[in-house]
Structure 1
Amino acid sequence: MSERNSTAAYAALKDRFERLAALSGAQAVLHWDRATMMPEGGAAARAEQQAILSLIAHETLTAPEVAGLIDEAREADGLDPWDRANLQEMARVHAHATATPASLVTRLSRQKSATEMVWRKARAANDYASLAPELDKLIALVREQAAAKAEALGLDPYDALLDGYDPGRRSADIDVLFAELESFLPALLREVMEHQARGPASLPIEGPFPIALQEKIGREVMDLIGFDFAHGRLDVSHHPFTGGVPDDSRITTRYDEADFTESLMAVIHETGHSLYERGLPGAWRSQPVGRARGMTIHESQSLLFEMQAARTESFIRFLAPRLKAGFGGEGPAWEPENVLRHYRRVAPGFIRVQADEVSYPLHVMLRYGLERAMIAGELTAKDLPAAWNEGMERMLGIVPPDDATGCMQDIHWPSGSFGYFPTYTLGALAAAQLFAAAKRTHDGIEAALGQGDFAPLLGFVRTRVHGKGASRTPDEIVSEATGEPLGTAAFKAHIEARYLGK
């Protein structure tokens, strides 16, 4: 085959994937709209719109000629390393798409929308019985997709789903890392709690904290971190998330007028996600190689800013007087030392998104085991609450009082996201490594945070992480950025230093 034909084949693929990127952007904005402002009566119509867009994208990607174009393009000699990486990503995405029949894509899209809308009502009413039948239907479809992908990709069904969220990741890798965490984390959690019990008790920071003021302060902190409001917005939803596209970033959070701490950290968390998307290589935005490199890297960026940077003593000392002034607070409860105690309080709780960074991995490990069991056909939706409660008692020593604070708290399973959860803890491990590497590279990072200056930290990840796009595997990005493979050592050292002074 001639070089001209091979080059033309690659150009045709780039054009096709540019169209797919536009479709993906439209779907992302529709999802944001559904989660934030769509009237309840519009759910069915919106579900049908999303199903049709999913089908169009699937047909565009799996058209018969695409496989031939990929084979032809592989013969091209003039592709630079980025083009080669892009072609490799095209082939990976195509392999995942062709493994799922078009009819299943449509059925999945519709059932995801239906189950998510039922979940919104069921969670608010603590009515798991109404959710279980819809969740069972969705699990069956996800298992069907997992089986199809497993056969096509030569993977275990769960690994086939996991690969869609974290390319190249396998459950065997996760099992090793999670076993290491389990070998020291429960004892470390107890040690930290005992250490804190011997120290000063946190003084209550009393509200109410009007939502308008929380939003104002959240926007000010987003601006400090580097969020560009000319290319994004902040809204309200049932569950904090980041959507949209790099040039149109949509962040949502939720507010509690009795407690501002959760919402503010959720905003910082989601800003980390948005900064990653915004920092992806501009020249490749419409191509697979210019996309985010999986959810471990994505979660590392949100947790880097929320857990590693925003909970440093230096930044809290900068933030505390601004919180006091913004909310009109008075007295010793607003002093930096007390605000720091609030943001570093360690104790097992029921809600994952409110969990401290010491106990958080245990929440994720619970969900990882449960979703593997559901995909394997060993656990049904009907039996999920009992399995959840047993796992919470075993891993965290507490039992949720109801299903709303138990197995219904997360949107992931009702929206069909199976294989996502382990990336939260993998991201926490990566965030600890990245923050340690950033501080080794720039001595003044913590001092800058004490001035509300995130630029040195953002500059580090812009170069070492964001600018890589999907040109490397997740583990290659972490290894190249930090000088060591993804592991548990940096996370353990971080917890011991922050909470035990070791």
Structure 2
Amino acid sequence: MSYTALSQHFEQLHHLQHLGAICGWDQATMMPAGGNEARAEALSTLAVLCHQQLQDPRLSDWFDAAGQESLDREHSVSLAEMRRQWRDATLLPADLVRAMSLAGSRCEHAWRSLRPANDWAGYLPLFEEVLNLSRQAASARAEALGLSRYDSLLEQYEPGMRSARLDTLFDDLKSWLPGLITRVQDKQRDEPLLLPQGPFATEQQRALGLEVMALLGFDFEHGRLDVSAHPFCGGVSEDVRLTTRYNEQDVAQALMGIIHETGHARYEQGLPGRWRRLPAGQARSMGVHESQSLFFEMQLARHPAFIARLAPLLERHFGAQPAFSPDNLARFYTRVTPGLIRVDADEVTYPAHIMLRYEIERDLIEGKMEARDLPERWDQLMQRYLGLSTKGNYKDGCLQDIHWTDGSFGYFPSYTLGAIYAAQQAAAMQQQQGPLEQLIGTQLPTVFEWLQQHIWQHGSLLETDHLIRQACGQPLDAAVFRQHLQQRYLADAVYA
């Protein structure tokens, strides 16, 4: 059967991608600096091999024949997902794929030292090469798909999503988010708050993080935790690699980073086992992926019932102090303060960071601005949305993220889509299972069982809108996110 031949072919591709994921993890965590050029060459060769696997001339005939076979619904969806990946791969020539991989590896590796040095001038030529190649890829994809250049890249991360829909979504956020930020800050201004007093030794932070990962159900037989310049979740479902970064003066940064990445990891570990080596068994979209990390970090970890469980763990690892009382920790983890760094942003200001990046990357890809204009545009939007300046401060401004270093344009909107999806999932879970306070306090596994049943087990067998509508009873709806923020941050208590 042609479907069987396709399945075997895509399983081979999965094995190659598995090797690439682990090599990429090693590049970010363990590899000595001197190995980067050789690793970049190796990864670019592997990228070309994966690309060639998807351009095998036999695939066209196999797809035509498989389309005539009698397949059940799940296998039909699997066939459609394989066809989508095949279609995407045929849009780019192998030499462009290789050039993009090389440029991305070099730019990302240099970024690790250029960012701490605040060296925009050193970064610019590397980034210009990545942007140039990304524009070429976007043009090729756009022409073949009948989309704008930016939408053709967005399609890689959020299939079916378009910038016109994002513009409407972000225009809505802009209409109420600034006022909400102001009102929350006014409310919190006179609330007592004690800051945890460090230092917090890295090894103790790591031990705390591992204990919290276990509480959250992470499977250590199929994953591990390490350190990188930028936190991420990588690897494959059978071998998930999490990373974080530690600051011995700040116990919150690494811990919330670990919880965020654990959300990604639980999704990967919960994907349907019998489909994992095929496109149908992989994550539906990056918006859905981010909904899981943000459900863990925002909906779950900042809830008072979870903080009540977290407080004694902090005391056990770092000793008792007044700042570790549950009430104070709840205020600490829900403090709204506009800041420069996206990954450290609170739940209310976070969407502003994403709107800024969305507008910039869209205009970069569409040719409405150039790489050299990035610092000035960044500062303008940061002042507009958060009232902060990054003039001359590149490391805390336009150099802070890893995404654009390897050409991941179109990814950033997934964070705000994920925050909205997470709020919808929490609302639906409470309607079906009862208050989160009760679930987190005494029935925490029930939370993960709901996510497994409604999100994880479906992989890519459902399109995003179908998945969210089925799980939450409605499609993407920012009104639910707004209601969540108003209830959590503007109620008389810290939480409703």
TM-score (norm 1): 0.96
1:149 Cα deviation from its structure 2 partner? 0.6
1:326-337 equivalence runs, <5 A: 326-330=317-321, 332-337=322-327
**Structure 2 equivalent of residue 382 of structure 1:** 372
Q: Which amino acid aligns with 2:209?
A: G
After superposing the two structures, state which structure 1 stretch, 251-260 or 311-320, moved more: 311-320
After superposing the two structures, state which structure 1 stretch, 206-215 or 147-156, moved more: 147-156
2: CA distance, partners of 1:281 / 1:321:
35
**Structure 1 equivalent of residue 144 of structure 2:** 152
2: CA distance, partners of 1:203 / 1:469:
43
2: CA distance, partners of 1:162 / 1:204:
40
2: CA distance, partners of 1:230 / 1:177:
40
1:257 Cα deviation from its structure 2 partner? 0.1
Tell me whether 1:102 sits opposite 2:99 in the alignment: no
Residues 101 and 406, structure 2, Cα contact 8 Å, conserved in 1: no
Q: Residue 486 of structure 1: SS of its match in structure 2?
A: coil
**Structure 1 equivalent of residue 450 of structure 2:** 460
**Structure 1 equivalent of residue 463 of structure 2:** 473
Cα shift readout 1:250-276 (whole Å, capped 9, x = no counterpart)? 000000000110110100000000000
Residues 237 and 254, structure 1, Cα contact 8 Å, conserved in 2: yes
Residues 445 and 456, structure 1, Cα contact 8 Å, conserved in 2: no
1: CA distance, partners of 2:60 / 2:408:
27
**Structure 1 equivalent of residue 61 of structure 2:** 68
Q: Which amino acid aligns with 2:227?
A: V
Tell me whether 1:40 sits opposite 2:30 in the alignment: no
Tell me whether 1:274 sits opposite 2:274 in the alignment: no
Tell me whether 1:299 sits opposite 2:290 in the alignment: yes
Q: Which amino acid aligns with 1:82?
A: E
Tell me whether 1:238 sits opposite 2:226 in the alignment: no
Q: Residue 414 of structure 1: SS of its match in structure 2?
A: helix
After superposing the two structures, state which structure 1 stretch, 287-296 or 442-451, moved more: 442-451
Cα shift readout 1:430-468 (whole Å, capped 9, x = no counterpart)? 0000011111111154223225x5311111110100111
Q: Residue 405 of structure 2: SS of its match in structure 1?
A: coil
**Structure 2 equivalent of residue 492 of structure 1:** 482
Q: Which amino acid aligns with 1:307?
A: M
2: CA distance, partners of 1:45 / 1:488:
46
**Structure 2 equivalent of residue 17 of structure 1:** 10
**Structure 2 equivalent of residue 4 of structure 1:** none
Q: Residue 460 of structure 2: SS of its match in structure 1?
A: coil
2: CA distance, partners of 1:280 / 1:126:
40
2: CA distance, partners of 1:109 / 1:313:
44
Cα shift readout 1:314-349 (whole Å, capped 9, x = no counterpart)? 11112112212210133x222111111110000110
Residues 213 and 327, structure 1, Cα contact 8 Å, conserved in 2: yes
**Structure 2 equivalent of residue 139 of structure 1:** 131
Q: Residue 224 of structure 2: SS of its match in structure 1?
A: strand
Q: Residue 450 of structure 1: SS of its match in structure 2?
A: helix
**Structure 1 equivalent of residue 209 of structure 2:** 218
Which of 305, 315, 318 is the equivalent residue of 1:314?
305
1: CA distance, partners of 2:204 / 2:484:
33
TM-score (norm 2): 0.98
1: CA distance, partners of 2:324 / 2:285:
39
Q: Which amino acid aligns with 1:384?
A: L
**Structure 1 equivalent of residue 175 of structure 2:** 183
**Structure 2 equivalent of residue 193 of structure 1:** 185
Percent of pairs with identical residues: 47
Tell me whether 1:426 sits opposite 2:420 in the alignment: no
1:381 Cα deviation from its structure 2 partner? 1.6
Q: Which amino acid aligns with 1:464?
A: H
**Structure 1 equivalent of residue 105 of structure 2:** 113
Residues 95 and 153, structure 1, Cα contact 8 Å, conserved in 2: no
1:169 Cα deviation from its structure 2 partner? 1.0
Q: Residue 155 of structure 1: SS of its match in structure 2?
A: coil
Q: Which amino acid aligns with 2:14?
A: A
Which of 46, 56, 72 is the equivalent residue of 2:49?
56
Residues 292 and 298, structure 1, Cα contact 8 Å, conserved in 2: yes
Q: Which amino acid aligns with 2:24?
A: H
Q: Which amino acid aligns with 1:499?
A: Y
1: CA distance, partners of 2:58 / 2:150:
29
Q: Which amino acid aligns with 1:31?
A: G
Cα shift readout 1:368-392 (whole Å, capped 9, x = no counterpart)? 0000010011222211001100110
Q: Which amino acid aligns with 1:90?
A: M
Q: Which amino acid aligns with 1:498?
A: R
Cα shift readout 1:18-73 (whole Å, capped 9, x = no counterpart)? 00110111100001000001000000010011001100110011112212211211
Q: Which amino acid aligns with 2:11?
A: E
Unaligned runs of 5+ in 2: none
**Structure 1 equivalent of residue 316 of structure 2:** 325
Tell me whether 1:351 sits opposite 2:351 in the alignment: no
Q: Residue 124 of structure 1: SS of its match in structure 2?
A: coil
**Structure 1 equivalent of residue 242 of structure 2:** 251
Residues 430 and 486, structure 1, Cα contact 8 Å, conserved in 2: yes
Q: Which amino acid aligns with 2:167?
A: D
Cα shift readout 1:131-155 (whole Å, capped 9, x = no counterpart)? 0011001100000000001111111
Which of 120, 139, 149 is the equivalent residue of 1:128?
120
Q: Which amino acid aligns with 2:465?
A: D
Residues 157 and 375, structure 1, Cα contact 8 Å, conserved in 2: yes
Which of 382, 386, 391 is the equivalent residue of 2:381?
391
Residues 185 and 336, structure 2, Cα contact 8 Å, conserved in 1: yes
